[in-house]
Copies of this chain bind each other. A is one copy, B any other.
Amino acid sequence: MKLYELVGKDKTQGFSPYVWRARMALAHKGLKVEMVPLTFSEIPELTGANAKTVPILEYDGGFITDSWDIAIFLEENFSDKPSLFGGNAGKAYANFFNFVSFYNLIVPLFQTLVYDIFNELNESDRDYFRASREARLGKSLEEAHENQLQNLDIFRKQLWPYNMTLKSQEFLSGDEPAYVDYIMYGLFQWAKGVSAIEIVNEDDQLYRWRAKMDDLYDGLGQVIKTRA
């Protein structure tokens, strides 16, 4: 099994939040996978996958694209392994969490990190990234960067429900970590992979939660190094 991931200049620091969902999900299922680093411009060249984004899971000669489809595939094809969702209600939770975390967290965090992501990329990816992201932002990367702290503040203001939930349960998924936690953890790995900025406060429940997530699966997430 191969998991194609997105990297910049450093091929060991795959920073895609969506790839981290798949990577943690594979570890949750106890499955070994070969990681294949790609730059943005290399993704569409991958024969057979017909995908513009990662993660892409290659399995038995076929390709599964989109992190949600990968999660469903793993849950259905490895049903003898620990469940990613914890049943139908948990699957409904993950589906909802996917949307709510995108809208309330990923969007402001993207604005916070976009310039740092740009600086992390291979030279060959930069023109594409600048053009596509500036169109999406409606402003230059440099202008977005000038508002980095304001955007971080917008992101942080949205953390209240997540911190409150973690006051009464150990993980977002309940007593044990599962797919909803991997959705959230992907955001933290994304930020850590491209930026020195600390996105949560030390007294946040999420800070404590992240430390526990970092320790899962022999410290898998710690492959991403903290920047000075």
Contact = CB atoms under 8 A, between A and B. Distances in A.
Interface in A158-179: 160-162, 164-165, 168-169, 171-175, 178
A164 B168 CA distance: 27
Contact of A89 (B161, B168, B173): B173
Interface string A55-97: 0000000000000000000000000000001111111110111
Interface in A90-113: 90-93, 95-97, 99-100, 102-104
Interface residues of A, number: 31
Contacts of A180: 92
Contacts of A97: 96
Contact of A88 (B86, B96, B165): B86
A163 B95 CA distance: 12
Contact of A165 (B89, B95, B160, B162): B95
A164 B89 contact: no
Copies of this chain, whole number: 2
Majority secondary structure, A binding face? helix
Contact of A85 (B89, B161, B169): B89
A165 B87 CA distance: 17
Given A100-B100, A102-B161, A103-B161, A168 B93 contact: no
Nearest to A157: B103
A174 B86 contact: no
Interface in A119-169: 160-162, 164-165, 168-169
B95 A168 contact: yes
